[in-house]
Structure 1
Amino acid sequence: MILHINVLDKGYVRLVNHMGSDLTVVNAARVSYAKQSEALTEKDIRLIRFLAREGHTSPFRHAVLQLEIYAPLMVARQWWKYIVGSAHYEGTGDSLEAWNESSRRYITEEPAFYIPSAGQWRGAPENSKQGSGGLVAWELGEKYTRELMEYTQLGIQKYEAALADGICAEQARLFLAAYGLYVRWYWTASLQSVAHFLNQRLEHDAQQEIQDYAKAILNIVKTLFPVATEELLTRQQA
């Protein structure tokens, strides 16, 4: 079973725990008729397909994942929108969401930053105000990799100097370059919520960095819930 997948230069997604399987979805649906399956059958697979196709989503909320994620702040804040909206999207009332994040109010571990390599910088899109276009020339990318490294190192030096002078950690952190700063959090979510996240963040127009995390989560989720994951993603992308 896939437990840990590295993402970007320093990030990762780690499976902490999970509850249920494809059979959980089936039995959550069949309880209405006081029935239960002991092993997943072709009939059960057809039921999962029917539930996904017809939008009967509550059985998918009985399967739950708990993940530890280490990602740049710019990714975390995009991700956070799914927690804020989870109780309301599509009228599902899905509240099986939890998010607990490390805080530099309390910890002073060595800061880590996402630094794109020279070959990873993207240009602005031609016909949109957001997103990105193709890769820029290597020479331009090399310039901005170098400048970003210098910028973040200056921030680290000032952050450490402030701590050494007795400034509290919650204010000293203001010197750190925020968007590239890696943060760590636990995300606990129902299978339906995870599928909703994947359907949006696996799309080609999603930011590349969060796409990379979505692909890692997809590898974990389809290992745990192969049938339900395929049906939820297929039906919602249709």
Structure 2
Amino acid sequence: MGSDLTVVNAARVSYAKQSDALTEKDLRLIQFLAREGHTSPFRHAVIQYEIYAPLMVARQWWKYVIGSAHYEGTGDSLEAWNESSRRYITEEPAFYTPAAGQWRSAPANSKQGSGDIVAWELGEKYTRELMNYVDLGIQKYEAALADGICAEQARLFLPAYGLYVRWYWTASLQSVAHFLNQRLEHDAQKEIQDYAKAVLEIVKALFPVTIDELLSK
């Protein structure tokens, strides 16, 4: 909902003025608002995403969303989050399984994050073990359903963190920019970085001027 022009007109309404097309003056106004931290005009443009991601990504994303509503300077972030629930659905579960060349080592000087890619042989071992673990969980999940166990309890057998979930994320342009500034950083988890790049690609097509100004230089 909205465009770069929405931000401009939200700011200009203070003086009962409106722009019908972006001008150089409007571009300078967007730059000024972003540079000086005048954030309210950026909350009048809203974008909605449908996201399908492993639970480990969803929970990290959600942690950010909760925090952003109280983040200094953001005010009301205008966010909504509605997620599919295995209390109600029993569609075939899907899981994120890293390939042999995607397993990363523990970092040398930190308690979180990751280091370099491990040897292929070690990665292949853990890809195989994870696939076996997922298969076993699915078998037990399906057996529980077949025996009449309710879906909300049968799901306990599913390996949780790699399980894909689907949700709608509706957020103001300011809030999307804050997410991107956090999750495009080099020390963000690789998997959520990949999603952040996709979020950026979509939002940049819709709000090319504003998002460029809101992202950390």
Same fold (TM over 0.5): yes
Shift of 1:82: 2.4
Secondary structure in 2 matching 1:68: strand
The alpha-carbon deviation at position 94 of structure 1 amounts to 1.6
Q: Indicate yes or no: 2:71 matched with 1:102.
A: no
Alignment map for 1:72-221 (pairs within 5 Å): 72-221=54-203
Distance 1:211 1:220 in 2: 14
Q: 2:5 and 2:167 mapped to 1: Cα distance?
A: 29
Gaps of 5+ in 2: none
C-alpha distance in 2 between matches for 1:32 and 1:51 = 14
Provide the rounded CA distance (Å) in 1 between the counterparts of 2:171 and 2:114: 29
Q: Provide the identity percentage.
A: 88
Q: Are the counterparts in 2 of residues 83 and 98 from structure 1 also a CA contact under 8 Å?
A: no
Using the TM superposition, give the Cα deviation of residue 81 of structure 1 relative to its aligned residue in structure 2, in angstroms.
1.3
Between the aligned partners of 2:211 and 2:134, the Cα distance in structure 1 is 39
SS in 2 for 1:119: helix
TM normalised by structure 1 equals 0.90
Residue 131 of structure 1 aligns with an amino acid whose one-letter code is G
1:11 paired residue number = none
Uncovered stretches (5+) of structure 1, i.e. residues with no partner = 1-18
State the 4+ residue runs in structure 1 displaced beyond 2 angstroms: none
| Alignment partner of 1:35 is 2:35 | no
CA contact (8 A) 1:86 1:97 kept: no
| Greater strand content | 1
SS in 1 for 2:81: strand
Q: What SS does the aligned partner of 1:89 have?
A: coil
State the alpha-carbon separation in 2 of the partners of residues 130 and 75 from structure 1.
15
Distance in structure 2 (CA, Å) of the matches to 1:108 and 1:47 = 50
Count of residues paired in the alignment? 217
What whole-Å deviation, never above 9, does each CA across 1:134-178 have from its counterpart, x for those lacking one? 100011100000000000000000000000000000000000000
Name the TM-score, length of structure 2 as normaliser.
Answer: 0.99
Q: CA deviation at 1:87?
A: 2.2
For the residues of structure 2 that align with 1:92 and 1:196, how far apart are their CA atoms?
Answer: 9
